[in-house]
Amino acid sequence: DGGITQSPKYLFRKEGQNVTLSCEQNLNHDAMYWYRQDPGQGLRLIYYSQIVNDFQKGDIAEGYSVSREKKESFPLTVTSAQKNPTAFYLCASSIGQMNTEAFFGQGTRLTVV
Amino acid sequence: SQKIEQNSEALNIQEGKTATLTCNYTNYSPAYLQWYRQDPGRGPVFLLLIRENEKEKRKERLKVTFDTTLKQSLFHITASQPADSATYLCALVFTGGGNKLTFGTGTQLKVEL
Protein backbone atom coordinates (compact mmCIF):
# COMPACT_ATOMS: atom_id res chain seq x y z
CA ASP A 1 0.00 0.00 0.00
CA GLY A 2 1.75 3.15 -1.22
CA GLY A 3 1.46 6.35 0.71
CA ILE A 4 2.86 8.82 3.17
CA THR A 5 2.67 8.10 6.88
CA GLN A 6 2.97 10.47 9.79
CA SER A 7 3.26 9.32 13.34
CA PRO A 8 1.99 9.72 15.91
CA LYS A 9 -1.43 11.24 15.17
CA TYR A 10 -1.53 13.01 18.55
CA LEU A 11 1.48 14.10 20.58
CA PHE A 12 1.73 15.82 23.93
CA ARG A 13 4.91 17.38 25.27
CA LYS A 14 5.95 19.57 28.12
CA GLU A 15 7.18 23.05 27.39
CA GLY A 16 10.93 23.21 26.92
CA GLN A 17 11.28 19.72 25.48
CA ASN A 18 12.35 18.96 21.93
CA VAL A 19 10.06 16.62 20.02
CA THR A 20 10.51 14.82 16.70
CA LEU A 21 7.67 14.14 14.29
CA SER A 22 8.02 11.23 11.90
CA CYS A 23 7.23 11.26 8.18
CA GLU A 24 7.81 8.27 5.91
CA GLN A 25 6.82 7.74 2.28
CA ASN A 26 7.07 4.72 -0.01
CA LEU A 27 6.03 6.57 -3.17
CA ASN A 28 9.63 6.97 -4.37
CA HIS A 29 9.15 10.72 -4.33
CA ASP A 30 12.17 13.04 -4.42
CA ALA A 31 10.55 16.08 -2.79
CA MET A 32 9.20 16.25 0.76
CA TYR A 33 7.66 19.11 2.70
CA TRP A 34 6.64 20.08 6.23
CA TYR A 35 3.75 22.47 6.84
CA ARG A 36 2.17 23.88 9.95
CA GLN A 37 -1.55 24.64 10.19
CA ASP A 38 -3.15 26.68 12.95
CA PRO A 39 -6.92 26.74 13.59
CA GLY A 40 -8.82 28.40 10.77
CA GLN A 41 -5.66 29.09 8.81
CA GLY A 42 -3.96 27.78 5.74
CA LEU A 43 -0.73 25.83 5.53
CA ARG A 44 2.57 27.55 6.20
CA LEU A 45 5.77 26.00 4.87
CA ILE A 46 8.40 25.12 7.48
CA TYR A 47 11.05 23.21 5.50
CA TYR A 48 11.26 21.38 2.21
CA SER A 49 13.67 18.99 0.58
CA GLN A 50 14.03 18.31 -3.12
CA ILE A 51 16.65 15.58 -2.83
CA VAL A 52 18.37 13.43 -0.24
CA ASN A 53 20.88 15.25 1.98
CA ASP A 54 19.55 18.65 0.94
CA PHE A 55 16.80 20.86 2.37
CA GLN A 56 15.73 24.50 2.37
CA LYS A 57 14.01 26.74 4.88
CA GLY A 58 10.43 27.66 4.24
CA ASP A 59 8.58 30.71 5.51
CA ILE A 60 8.57 29.81 9.22
CA ALA A 61 11.70 27.71 9.84
CA GLU A 62 12.74 29.33 13.12
CA GLY A 63 12.58 26.88 16.01
CA TYR A 64 12.46 23.82 13.75
CA SER A 65 15.07 21.47 12.29
CA VAL A 66 14.96 18.65 9.74
CA SER A 67 17.15 15.98 8.20
CA ARG A 68 16.92 14.06 4.94
CA GLU A 69 19.33 11.15 5.23
CA LYS A 70 17.08 8.75 3.34
CA LYS A 71 14.76 9.34 0.40
CA GLU A 72 11.85 7.80 2.31
CA SER A 73 12.16 9.78 5.52
CA PHE A 74 11.96 13.48 6.47
CA PRO A 75 11.67 13.89 10.26
CA LEU A 76 10.87 17.27 11.79
CA THR A 77 12.19 18.32 15.20
CA VAL A 78 10.29 21.00 17.06
CA THR A 79 12.83 22.56 19.39
CA SER A 80 12.36 24.45 22.62
CA ALA A 81 13.20 27.61 20.68
CA GLN A 82 9.85 27.46 18.87
CA LYS A 83 7.73 30.03 20.70
CA ASN A 84 4.31 28.61 19.91
CA PRO A 85 4.67 24.95 18.92
CA THR A 86 1.09 23.77 19.49
CA ALA A 87 -0.34 23.18 16.00
CA PHE A 88 -1.34 20.63 13.38
CA TYR A 89 1.72 19.48 11.42
CA LEU A 90 1.41 18.10 7.90
CA CYS A 91 4.03 16.29 5.86
CA ALA A 92 3.78 15.98 2.09
CA SER A 93 5.73 14.51 -0.79
CA SER A 94 5.78 14.91 -4.56
CA ILE A 95 7.67 13.61 -7.56
CA GLY A 96 9.59 16.85 -7.46
CA GLN A 97 8.58 18.42 -10.73
CA MET A 98 6.78 21.75 -10.60
CA ASN A 99 3.73 20.44 -12.41
CA THR A 100 2.90 17.58 -10.05
CA GLU A 101 0.60 17.24 -7.11
CA ALA A 102 1.58 16.83 -3.48
CA PHE A 103 0.44 13.87 -1.40
CA PHE A 104 -0.19 14.55 2.27
CA GLY A 105 0.00 12.43 5.39
CA GLN A 106 -2.83 12.40 7.92
CA GLY A 107 -1.07 14.95 10.11
CA THR A 108 0.24 15.09 13.68
CA ARG A 109 -1.50 17.26 16.22
CA LEU A 110 1.11 18.50 18.67
CA THR A 111 0.07 19.97 21.99
CA VAL A 112 2.67 21.52 24.24
CA VAL A 113 1.63 22.10 27.84
CA SER B 1 7.09 37.73 -0.68
CA GLN B 2 4.17 36.06 -2.40
CA LYS B 3 0.76 36.58 -0.91
CA ILE B 4 -2.17 34.28 -1.65
CA GLU B 5 -5.63 35.30 -0.53
CA GLN B 6 -8.80 33.27 -0.30
CA ASN B 7 -12.10 34.40 1.12
CA SER B 8 -11.83 33.76 4.85
CA GLU B 9 -15.59 33.81 5.33
CA ALA B 10 -17.34 30.49 4.97
CA LEU B 11 -19.46 29.99 1.88
CA ASN B 12 -22.91 28.48 2.46
CA ILE B 13 -24.91 27.34 -0.56
CA GLN B 14 -27.89 25.14 -1.28
CA GLU B 15 -27.58 21.66 -2.69
CA GLY B 16 -27.66 21.66 -6.48
CA LYS B 17 -26.27 25.17 -6.85
CA THR B 18 -22.83 26.06 -8.20
CA ALA B 19 -20.20 27.00 -5.63
CA THR B 20 -17.55 29.49 -6.72
CA LEU B 21 -14.39 30.01 -4.68
CA THR B 22 -11.75 32.65 -5.32
CA CYS B 23 -7.98 32.63 -5.06
CA ASN B 24 -6.06 35.88 -5.55
CA TYR B 25 -2.30 36.30 -5.54
CA THR B 26 0.10 39.21 -5.59
CA ASN B 27 3.63 39.85 -6.78
CA TYR B 28 5.24 37.15 -8.88
CA SER B 29 3.46 35.09 -11.51
CA PRO B 30 2.90 31.45 -10.68
CA ALA B 31 3.95 28.70 -13.04
CA TYR B 32 1.26 26.37 -11.72
CA LEU B 33 -1.81 26.68 -9.57
CA GLN B 34 -3.40 23.77 -7.71
CA TRP B 35 -6.59 23.26 -5.75
CA TYR B 36 -6.91 20.92 -2.78
CA ARG B 37 -9.73 19.76 -0.56
CA GLN B 38 -9.25 19.37 3.20
CA ASP B 39 -11.63 17.68 5.60
CA PRO B 40 -11.43 18.41 9.36
CA GLY B 41 -8.42 16.77 11.02
CA ARG B 42 -7.12 15.35 7.74
CA GLY B 43 -4.41 16.23 5.24
CA PRO B 44 -5.35 18.05 2.01
CA VAL B 45 -6.20 16.00 -1.06
CA PHE B 46 -5.26 17.16 -4.56
CA LEU B 47 -8.10 18.05 -6.93
CA LEU B 48 -6.88 19.95 -10.00
CA LEU B 49 -3.79 21.60 -11.45
CA ILE B 50 -3.74 24.38 -14.05
CA ARG B 51 -0.72 25.84 -15.83
CA GLU B 52 -0.06 29.55 -16.39
CA ASN B 53 -0.78 29.24 -20.12
CA GLU B 54 -4.12 27.46 -19.57
CA LYS B 55 -7.35 29.39 -19.14
CA GLU B 56 -9.59 26.62 -17.90
CA LYS B 57 -9.47 23.03 -16.65
CA ARG B 58 -12.34 20.65 -15.93
CA LYS B 59 -12.73 17.40 -14.06
CA GLU B 60 -16.21 15.95 -13.60
CA ARG B 61 -18.19 18.58 -11.62
CA LEU B 62 -15.11 20.72 -10.99
CA LYS B 63 -13.87 23.63 -13.08
CA VAL B 64 -10.86 25.87 -12.51
CA THR B 65 -10.11 29.10 -14.35
CA PHE B 66 -6.82 30.99 -14.28
CA ASP B 67 -6.51 34.66 -15.21
CA THR B 68 -2.89 35.80 -14.98
CA THR B 69 -3.88 39.38 -15.84
CA LEU B 70 -6.24 39.63 -12.87
CA LYS B 71 -3.91 37.37 -10.80
CA GLN B 72 -6.91 35.25 -9.91
CA SER B 73 -8.18 31.70 -10.06
CA LEU B 74 -11.81 30.68 -9.69
CA PHE B 75 -12.82 27.20 -8.55
CA HIS B 76 -16.33 26.03 -9.39
CA ILE B 77 -18.27 23.02 -8.12
CA THR B 78 -21.43 22.47 -10.15
CA ALA B 79 -24.48 20.58 -8.88
CA SER B 80 -23.06 20.80 -5.37
CA GLN B 81 -23.82 18.11 -2.80
CA PRO B 82 -23.58 18.04 1.02
CA ALA B 83 -20.58 15.70 0.57
CA ASP B 84 -18.72 18.62 -1.07
CA SER B 85 -18.68 20.42 2.28
CA ALA B 86 -15.01 20.92 3.21
CA THR B 87 -12.26 23.53 3.18
CA TYR B 88 -10.76 24.24 -0.23
CA LEU B 89 -7.19 25.47 -0.54
CA CYS B 90 -5.39 26.93 -3.52
CA ALA B 91 -1.65 26.45 -3.82
CA LEU B 92 0.86 28.02 -6.17
CA VAL B 93 4.27 27.15 -7.52
CA PHE B 94 5.99 30.35 -8.50
CA THR B 95 8.42 30.72 -11.39
CA GLY B 96 11.95 30.75 -10.01
CA GLY B 97 10.80 29.34 -6.68
CA GLY B 98 11.91 25.78 -7.29
CA ASN B 99 9.25 23.29 -6.30
CA LYS B 100 8.13 25.28 -3.29
CA LEU B 101 4.35 24.94 -2.95
CA THR B 102 2.74 27.93 -1.23
CA PHE B 103 -0.82 27.63 0.09
CA GLY B 104 -3.59 30.13 0.56
CA THR B 105 -5.62 30.36 3.76
CA GLY B 106 -8.49 28.24 2.45
CA THR B 107 -12.24 28.79 2.18
CA GLN B 108 -14.76 26.64 4.05
CA LEU B 109 -17.68 25.50 1.93
CA LYS B 110 -20.92 24.22 3.42
CA VAL B 111 -23.56 22.73 1.15
CA GLU B 112 -26.97 22.62 2.77
CA LEU B 113 -29.96 20.45 1.91
Q: How many domains does chain B have?
A: 1
Q: Using the beta-carbon criterion (under 8 Å), do B6 and A42 form an inter-chain contact?
A: yes
pLDDT at A51 over 80: yes
Rounded mean pLDDT, B95-101: 75
Residues 54-83 of B with CB under 8 A from A: none
Which residues from chain A sit within 8 angstroms of residue B103, using beta carbons? 35, 42-45
The one-character DSSP state at A86 is -
Q: Using the beta-carbon criterion (under 8 Å), do A102 and B45 form an inter-chain contact?
A: no
Q: Which residue range is the domain that position B55 belongs to?
A: 3-112
Q: Could you tell me if B28 lies within 8 Å of chain A, comparing CB atoms? A: no
Rounded mean pLDDT, B82-107: 88
Residue among A33, A41, A107 minimizing CB distance to B42: A107
Which residues from chain B sit within 8 angstroms of residue A101, using beta carbons? 34, 46, 49
B16-53 CB burial, b ≥16 within 10 A, e <16: eeebbbebebeeeebbbbbbbbbeeebbbebbbbbeee
Rounded mean pLDDT, B57-76: 95
Query: In which band, very low, low, confident or very high, does the pLDDT at A1 lie, cut at 50, 70 and 90?
Result: low
Query: In which band, very low, low, confident or very high, does the pLDDT at B110 lie, cut at 50, 70 and 90?
Result: very high
Q: Which pLDDT tens digit goes with each residue over B69-87?
A: 999 999 999 999 999 999 9
- Domain containing residue B71: CATH number: 2.60.40.10
To 5 degrees, how large is the angle CA A9–CA A13–CA A17?
130
Chain-centroid distance of CA B34 in Å reads 7
Give pLDDT, residue B1. Answer: 64
Q: Using the beta-carbon criterion (under 8 Å), do B51 and A99 form an inter-chain contact?
A: yes
Q: Using the beta-carbon criterion (under 8 Å), do B45 and A104 form an inter-chain contact?
A: yes
- How distant is the Cα of B7 from the closest Cα of chain A, in angstroms? 11
